[in-house]
Structures are given as C-alpha cells and as structure tokens.
Amino acid sequence: MKKILFPGLSGLYASVFLLEFGFSLVGIFVPLYLFKITSSFNWVFAFYFFFNLAIVVFTLPAARLIARFGSDKISFLGTCLRAGCFLFLILSAYQPAFALLAAVSWGLAIPLFWLPFHLTIVGTDHRLAFGKDASRVAIFSRLGGMAGPVLGGLIIQQLGFGWLYFLTIIFLILSGLPIFFDRYEFKIPEISLDQIRKNLPIGKM
C-alpha cells in the first residue's frame, strides 16, 4: 500500500520539475564537454549515435518491463540510468570510452522514464480535464528548465564540470522519488512484435 503524500498529479508535477531543472543544468553543455575532453567531433557524433540507437532498440523491451513490474519502479530505474549517464561522463574525463556507456545509459533511460510518464497522463481519472493537466505538466517542465542553463554555466565557471554533474545527479535522483508517493501505479498488457505488426495500418489496407 502506497503512502499518499502528493494528491492528484502533483507528484508528477514535482517529478518533471526536478527532472527538467536537473537536466537543464548540464544538457546544453554535454557536446561542449565531450569536445573539450577528446578534442574530436567524432566522439560527439558517436555519443549521439549510440544514444539514439539505444532508444530505438530498447523501447519495446521497456514496455515489457512496465507490463511486468509497473510504472513506478521502471520510471525510477530510468531516472537512475539517467543519473548514471552523468556518472559515466565524469569518468570519461579519464577514459573517453566511458562516454559511450553514458550515451547508452541515457538512451535506455528515455523509454524507461517517459513511457510511464505518458502512461500516467493518459491513464488517470482526469479525462475531463486532460487539456488542463497536460498544460500544467508543460508549465512545470518549462519552469524547471528556465534557470538551469544560466546556473549551470556559473557552476562550470566557478567549480568545473565535475561538480555540475554531481549536482545534476542529485536532482535527477530526487525527481524519481515523488512517483512513489502518489496514487498512480500502472501496468500495461504484454507487447510483442507480432501484436505491433498486426495493428499496423498498412496491414489493414
């Protein structure tokens, strides 16, 4: 039985605010950091290639994990993997190959976090206020991302990338906690490639 500390969708609002604020501290500086430590655009290209490849490859397995374990646990796993990305980025200053592990970790985190996120938005009992709730999520997302880049730049200037990544990890981990204290927990039916193939519009033409 979950202990409810966040009524309605307020847990989701808190989660997305902390996530966007934490990520905005460092997000725009990642390619600059990779170029700084490697002096090569090839590493920047490789990072985003493996990041996007991981998203494509892992989206279907992520849906299966949600079906088996529920949205809360899988969403938090995605948050931890996103934090792990920045831990690997810290280590990549000593060995650039860690940047590829960071890319894969971040790519895995995307479907693990955002699939449960959207499942919560469309699966709650707020259907009559869906537009209002979606707008509130967007507002908290924008608010979380507004001050981050400026503050992140100041931290880099004063303390360096390492401290910035450490602070980002703290906010990312915190962003995964509110979902355990709201009243929403979802599982979805098992999904297979055969089911997807059968439901493709082209197959019904």
Q: Tens digit of pLDDT for each residue in 115-161?
A: 776 666 665 555 545 566 666 666 766 766 676 777 777 888 888 87
pLDDT for the residue 103: 94
**Burial of 154 (C-beta count, 10 Å sphere; 0-12/13-18/19+):** exposed
pLDDT for the residue 29: 79
Among 7-11, 167-171, 174-178, name the most confident range.
Answer: 167-171
Q: Which stretches of the chain are assigned E, i.e. beta strand?
A: none
- Whose structure tokens read 């609002």? 13
pLDDT for the residue 127: 53
Q: Is the pLDDT score of 198 beyond 70?
A: no
C-alpha distances (whole Å) from 195 to each of 60, 70, 103, 158, 199 are 11, 20, 30, 53, 6
Confidence band of 99 (pLDDT split at 50, 70, 90): very high
Is the pTM here over 0.85, yes or no? no
| Mean pLDDT, the chain, whole residue set | 76
Q: Is the pLDDT score of 101 beyond 90?
A: yes
Backbone Cα Rg of the chain? 18
Over range 44-70, report the average pLDDT.
87
pLDDT for the residue 200: 47
What six digits make up the tokens of 57?
A: 């490859």
Helices H / strands E in the chain, number of each: 9, 0
103 and 53 Cβ atoms separated by less than 8 Å: no
Give the integer Cα–Cα distance in Å for 17 and 10.
10
Give the integer Cα–Cα distance in Å for 2 and 60.
28
pLDDT for the residue 50: 95
